[in-house]
Amino acid sequence: MTKLTPISFSETDLDAIATHVGRVAVFVDGEGKMDLAARRVNRLTKGAVERLLESERWGKLSDGDVVSMAYPAGMLADAVDIVRLERNAKGVPARKAGASLAKTRGGKADMLVICATLRKAEDVVYGLAMRDYAFEDHKTAESTRSGAVLVMSGKPDELEAACKPLLAVAEGAHMCRDLTNEPANILTTTNYAERLKEMEALGLKVEVLDEEALAKLGMRTLLSVGQGSVSPSYVVVMRWEGGKKGEAPLALVGKGVVFDTGGISLKPGAGMGDMTMDMGGSAVVAGVMRTLALRGAKANVVGLVGIVENMPSGNASRPGDVVVSMKGDTIENLNTDAEGRLVLCDVMWYAQQEYKPAAMIDLATLTGAIITSLGHENAGVFSNNTSFCNDFLKAAEAEGEGAWRMPLGQAYDDLLKSRIADMKNIGGPAAGSITAAQFLQRFVKEDCPWIHLDIAGVASVKTATALAPVGATGWGVASLNRLIADNYEAE
């Protein structure tokens, strides 16, 4: 797994500024007021910082932006990074500042970050840790990631303690990105299950259900998706029991299709290579569970992921087949490329039957239709419970992760009616993301608050985001962790 950039903390030492080799970062507020560290850099560079602050360039910057001065006179540093940030900044702008520093660091240089007067320096550290990521497992060239970050503060012990849970989120997001970026010949269904099993070392209870166990449970729709592949299907259950004994858990359910050809309803060749990310929903669940264990969350959470591969073969499901779900409903499979909902519906039903959760959230790179609706800026949010939904939307907004509530309704559900079975797995060309959510809602018990997150547009992107480079983003790990911290942690 990609490791976080080594970050250490110490007391502010202004004399170290002149002798540090690498990069030095200092902060200046919007009015151009320099703190002690910035003033020391200004003195060493014979007024260079002051001249920058008087320039037109500085006036055009917003909170979190960085200006770099290469090879500053009077210092041994390769560069000085001047960060524009208000001293009381927190959340998104402070994290943007950290991400900006990660980009200027470029993954290699040792960096000294002097947060002398910042009140929420932990958000800067978090943004740096999140953005300082590269997936290099399959490159033979020397890694672009080396060096370390030293953060100086007036109260380093307090800052380190404040950073600890945030760095746990960053590590969970890195795991999510690694899994989502991994090619399917490496992240096979079996390899995936083994990686999740390894998290027992963190204190999670992990159970791997193989095909024999799934057949006994009646997970026929999930098994039907994987029957065309030589790779076996699994359900992996990860439990974190940090809350009150006997308290109902929050259930997180993820779609883990390690590769999706579309099956007999074969996808076009162009872009099919991107389907290594079709297990993105399950990767978010894994990342959240890792985060909860690392920070010792005082909550009961169960994460369940259905791991399959959707391949065409002589044994693959055919369009028009009828399969019986674990719930007992019959489903006419009119499109084998609408497979994610067949994986999720059995795992969701099992989660409710086995763990009787207080609430349930499923995540999936489920439909291209949600990208048509929301692009790559927002995940689609569907829910049967407004209060629960609002709690999540509030958490997502606080974390700067785009999320937008989408409608549900009987008219959409009616599109799933089948002539020969209880339902079809597709509703036609219109409202594809909504009818997919309606399908899943049929497997949610009436008394279970539920959210469906369609993350097809945000799980992996072609352009860098605020806190992630091109590729897998780790979207959702931070929002779900905050939802749990704010609403499910025992006091």
| Contacts for 4 with CB less than 8 Å, ≥ 6 apart | 129, 132, 167, 170, 171, 174
Question: H or E segment at 236?
Answer: strand 234-241
Query: Does residue 267 have an active-site annotation?
Result: yes
7-154 CATH: 3.40.220.10
Supply the DSSP symbol for 4: P
CA–CA separation, 300 vs 242, rounded Å? 5
What is the domain partition of the chain in residue ranges?
A: 7-154, 172-487
pLDDT at 315 over 90: yes
Count of C-beta atoms within a 10 Å radius of residue 166: 21
Provide the sign of the torsion angle of the four alpha carbons 371, 374, 379, 380, taken in this order.
negative
- Bridge-based pairing state of the strands 359-364 and 250-260: parallel
CA–CA separation, 229 vs 343, rounded Å? 15
> Please, which pLDDT band fits residue 141 given cuts at 50, 70 and 90?
confident
- Bridge-based pairing state of the strands 379-383 and 403-405: parallel
Of 255, 341, 424, 442, catalytic = 341
The SS3 call for residue 404 is: strand
Greater confidence (9 vs 106) lies with 9
Greater confidence (109 vs 184) lies with 184
Interval 400-416: pLDDT, tens = 999 999 999 999 999 99
Do the two domains 7-154 and 172-487 of this chain adopt the same fold?
A: no
Of 87, 267, 298, 394, catalytic = 267
Interval 261-305: pLDDT, tens = 999 999 999 999 999 999 999 999 999 999 999 999 999 999 999
Do 455 and 436 meet the contact criterion of CB atoms below 8 Å apart? Answer: no
pLDDT at 491 over 80: no
Provide the pLDDT for residue 78: 95
> Please, which pLDDT band fits residue 457 given cuts at 50, 70 and 90?
very high
CATH superfamily of 172-487: Zn peptidases (3.40.630.10)
Interval 62-116: pLDDT, tens = 999 999 999 999 999 999 999 999 999 999 999 999 999 999 998 888 999 999 8
CA–CA separation, 233 vs 279, rounded Å? 13
Provide the pLDDT for residue 143: 81
